[in-house]
Structure 1
Amino acid sequence: MPIVPDEKDWTWVLSRPCPECSFNASSATPATVPGSIESMIPRWLAVLRRPDASQRPDDDTWSPAEYACHVRDVFTLFAQRLNLMLAEDGARFADWDQDRTAIEKDYANADPSEVGPELAAEGHEAAESFAQVPEEDWGRKGLRSNGSEFTVLTLSQYFLHDVVHHLHDVNG
């Protein structure tokens, strides 16, 4: 059964801590993102080893494996966006329909033993991308097709919240 799409604009996490996962975006920078990612990968892998990793807790909530698929794709997407922002002045990128991606990539039937290595590989790649960003590029701008403007700094904060929040969602 498909999950009801999340249509919230999560950019508000850039201005105040998240009351659900307690993430405070102001504490993140492109320089701190790599260590944060690397510290979360083992926790994600542990979640995927749980016997119930493929089971949805209810009809309206993704399973831990589905969340892990999403995070794997978040790693890929944000590394691409970051690299675009570093390569192009005023980079533009499409808003991402995460719910359509979940259906197209069949997150609901993903094998946790396959998702784990994919998540780890994409996480390491994203960490490496953020590790390469010099501080003088933190102010470079990008525009999402829905009008949300990011700098490399705010993109790193928005991105990291997503990964932290979903780890919280699965009690990782």
Structure 2
Amino acid sequence: MNRCDECAFVYASAPAGEVPQLLRGLADRYGAALTEVRDPRRRPAEGVWSPLEYTCHVRDVLRVQGERLALALAVEEPEFVPMGRDERAVADAYNDQDPAVVLAELAAAGDDLAARFAVLGPAELARTGVYSWPQPEVRTLLWLGQHTVHEGVHHLLDIHRAARAQAAAAADPDPVA
């Protein structure tokens, strides 16, 4: 995967030298996005996460990618275990968490991962691991960083969609009438 048709993210738009800055910038973007939402815990549809749940997910993606980065620097071509996104959302009660705390944790995780990527040279960025999504494939650490940026950008789209849905519902509280 080098492009996302849904959110139009192109992995090459995040070259190695920009990955740290893009990761650090996610915190401000998520803070701004959550201010657009009337109720960050409200799910826009059945089976769709709330803006808060997406924010928790991105925080955890940043943390897990940091663990994967460390593993790939220590072990030749490790297999990255799936993070269990849906199970984690339930086990950690994403929708019950405090949005301010989640945003602070997202910022810290983004800063930490950005700092880790900032010190990598071409040889480290070329190291590989087996990433299981969308199917098992050998990926470089550069791709891992780009994919992490993509996750952040993509889920901002989900939050903006939820904000629009909430605004539309508020503007027309009785759509059946």
Report the TM-score when normalising by structure 1. 0.83
SS at match of 2:129: strand
Q: Secondary structure at the match of 1:163?
A: helix
Tell me the secondary structure at the aligned position of residue 79 of structure 2. strand
Contact residue 79 and residue 130 of structure 1 kept, 8 A:
no
SS at match of 2:17: coil
Q: What residue number does 2:154 align with? A: 165
1:43 partnered with 2:29: yes
SS of structure 2 residue aligned to 1:91? coil
C-alpha RMSD of the superposition: 1.8
With over 3 angstroms needed to count, the CA separation of the structure-2 counterparts of 1:144 and 1:22, relative to structure 1, is: closer
Gaps of 5+ in 1: 1-11
1:110 to 81, 97, 100: 97
Indicate which of 136, 140, 155 corresponds to 1:147: 136
Shift of residue 164, structure 1, vs aligned partner: 0.9
State the shift of 1:78 in Å.
0.5
**Residue pair 1:30, 1:153 contacting (<8 A) in 2 also:** yes
d(CA) in 1 for partners of 2:47 and 2:96? 16
* Distance in 2, Cα, partners of 1:156 & 1:166: 16
User: In the aligned structure 2, how far is the partner of 1:148 from the partner of 1:108?
Assistant: 32
Alpha-carbon offset, residue 34 of structure 1:
1.0
- Is 30-39 or 63-72 further displaced after alignment? 30-39
Alignment length, in residue pairs? 158
Larger radius of gyration: 2
1:46 partner letter: A
Q: Percent of pairs identical after alignment?
A: 37
Matched, 1:76 2:63: yes
Q: Does structure 2 retain, via aligned residues, the 8 Å contact 1:30–1:152?
A: no
Point out where structure 2 has 5 or more consecutive residues left out of the alignment.
Answer: 164-177
* Kept after mapping to 2: 8 A contact 1:57/1:63: yes
Q: What do residues 50-90 of structure 1 show as CA deviations (whole Å, max 9, x unaligned)? A: 43111111222111100000000000000111111112222
What displacement does 1:162 show? 0.9
Relative to total residues, which structure has the larger helix share, 1 or 2?
2
Q: How far is 1:39 from its partner? A: 2.1
Q: Distance in 2 between matches of 1:134 and 1:117?
A: 29
